[in-house]
Structure formats: structure tokens, C-alpha cells
Amino acid sequence: MLRVSTTTDLWYHYGRSRAGHDRAVPETFSWAWSQDGGPGPELLGDLAGAAVGDLGAGAARHAACLATHRLLARVDAVDASPAQHAMATDLFGHLAPRLRVVRRDAVRHLLDTAGTYDVLYSVFGAVDFTDPRELLPAAAGALRPGGRLVFSTLAHYLGGAPAEPDVVPAEIAARTPGGETTTMRRWVLQEHVWTKVLDESGFTGISTNTLPSPTDAPHSAATLLIRAVRRA
């Protein structure tokens, strides 16, 4: 297996074929792994006039949906991947200034935007692929007191193995832009582990909810939905 430097864009292929034929702003917003049904953006609370950040936005489909269908002030679609940033800019750059496409590591962005956001969210995004002991305190710091963090993450590994009972990442399969196989780190944690690290990071009012997988297909998965409030 080829090992590559951490600067290689391991998200080059993600969503690329869809971007070639589906340029529409989505009508619906799904938290589920299947991207089909379940609760929608109402979990983010009242967004009227809100400053919102999507952490690990990918092609920014969720952010584009919010920018178009909700009365928020601004949504920043933050993603570290040059390929995802380019895709998001191409697909939804025209939604500026309501949608801002930001190419940046989420932790660095959050550290530079202290006390800025009313709501932060992640749909299998940066929260899954970044050490939670770095990302979650940075998210708390970037929220206004009482601000909300909502994210969806895997309730278990793809394939069915249980989530981790501690804050440890797994090496999962990834592909370089040239197609070579490699790995990247993903945090698949049990509910109580997320709750503990959120509490230690400055959040309160933590609630969790599991959305069952709609099918038994090999790559289907249950979704763990987590909501938390920045401690005042």
C-alpha cells in the first residue's frame, strides 16, 4: 500500500461524477448517511439572521440548500480540500455573498473566527476526519455563547464493526488523485465518547439520536446525530 504525504488531496474523487451532471441547489437537507429522508435543517434551530458554518462542506450542497431556502445571514462552506473547494465554487459560487466558499482547514478557520458563529454543523464532514480534541474546542470558541453545534457521523463502521469506546481514530481506505490506494484517519466513536469529549470541549445540552440504516446493503450505515450548545 502506498503511503502519501498529508498534503495529497484524498478528497479529489469524492462527488466528482455527480458534479458532472447534477448542478442543482438541493431542495432538501438530509443528515442521514443514505442522504435520503430523516430529520432536516430544523435540527439547526431558528436560522433567521444567523451566521452559520458548514465544517467539511465538500461540494457545499447542504450549504447551498440553506443559503437558498432559509433566511440566514450567511453560511460559510469550509473545506480543506482544493478539489472540493473548486467543485463548490463552480457549482454554487453564484450564491455569494449569502454562501461563502472557504478553502481552509476547519480547525485553523475556527481558531481565527472566535465568537463569530450562531450555528456550526457537519454532515459526515470535518468532525469525522479531525481529532475531536482539537476540532471541538475550536468549534466551541468560534460559536457565540449559546450557539449550537449539530453534526451527523457514523454510528458504527461501514461493514458493521462497533464504534470505538475511546477517542481513537481508525485508518480507513482512501484514494489519491492518481488512483493509488492509501489510508486516512476517521473517528468513529460511541455516543458516550462524543458526549464526554463535547463536555470537555465547552459544550452543554448534549443530545444524541440514532437514525437506523434504511437497508442492509454492504455500505449502508446507521447515522449518529449529535446536538450541543456552547456553554455560556
Chain residues binding ligand SAM by CB under 6 A are 11, 14, 56-58, 78-81, 84, 105-107, 123-126, 129-130
Give the nearer residue to ligand SAM in terms of CB position, either 183 or 231.
183
Give the nearer residue to ligand SAM in terms of CB position, either 19 or 229.
19
CB of 103 to ligand SAM, least distance (A): 9
Output the 3-class SS for 141-183. HHEEEEEEEEEEEECECCCCCECECCCCCEEEEEECCCCCEEE
CB of 232 to ligand SAM, least distance (A): 27
Q: Please provide the DSSP assignment of 176-228 as one string.
A: -TTS-EEEEEE--B-HHHHHHHHHHTTEEEEEEEEEPPS---TT---EEEEEE
Give the nearer residue to ligand SAM in terms of CB position, either 26 or 45.
26
Write the CA distances from 4 to 9, 67, 117, 139, 170, integer angstroms.
10, 36, 34, 28, 17
CB of 129 to ligand SAM, least distance (A): 4
CB of 195 to ligand SAM, least distance (A): 21
The residue with cell 446493503 is 217
Give the nearer residue to ligand SAM in terms of CB position, either 217 or 232.
217
| Three-class SS state of 112 | coil
Give the nearer residue to ligand SAM in terms of CB position, either 125 or 147.
125
Nearest to 133 by CA among 200, 80, 189: 200
Task: Answer whether 165's CB lies under 8 Å from 193's CB.
Answer: yes
CB of 38 to ligand SAM, least distance (A): 13
